[in-house]
Amino acid sequence: MSGSDGGLEEEPELSITLTLRMLMHGKEVGSIIGKKGETVKRIREQSSARITISEGSCPERITTITGSTAAVFHAVSMIAFKLDEDLCAAPANGGNVSRPPVTLRLVIPASQCGSLIGKAGTKI
């Protein structure tokens, strides 16, 4: 009986809802949205995460991903792979031109920065 109780104790930790916000350039957002919204729709369906992208014509927009830890991880992974795929597809003039790494910029509320950094920077 204690074995089944142990499994139940871990369950609340796995069922937390996580919200992740990323600041993205317009070109990156366009890549994530895809033609007629097909790419973001596929990412939503396959990851089971809720994905919203801020409106506007400003150079940078906020992408918000909400869901279980696993769903958010899956969605972020798919986004990173899509951005990397688009970087690889960019026409290169030379054969072995190094391309920049995929960089995801997170938007962290000031109230949570301390817990992310840790005392004297021990966590980060």
Residue with tokens 């990412």: 43
Per-domain residue ranges of the chain: 17-89+103-121
Strand order in the sheet with 60-68: 50-53, 60-68, 17-25, 105-106
Per-residue pLDDT, 117: 86
- Comparison of pLDDT for 20 and 16, the residue scoring more: 20
89 pLDDT higher than 50: yes
Q: Does domain 17-89+103-121 have CATH number 3.40.50.360?
A: no
pLDDT tens string 24-40: 988 889 899 999 999 99
DSSP 121: G
What is the C-alpha to C-alpha distance for residues 84 and 103, in angstroms, rounded to an integer?
Answer: 10
Per-residue pLDDT, 2: 46
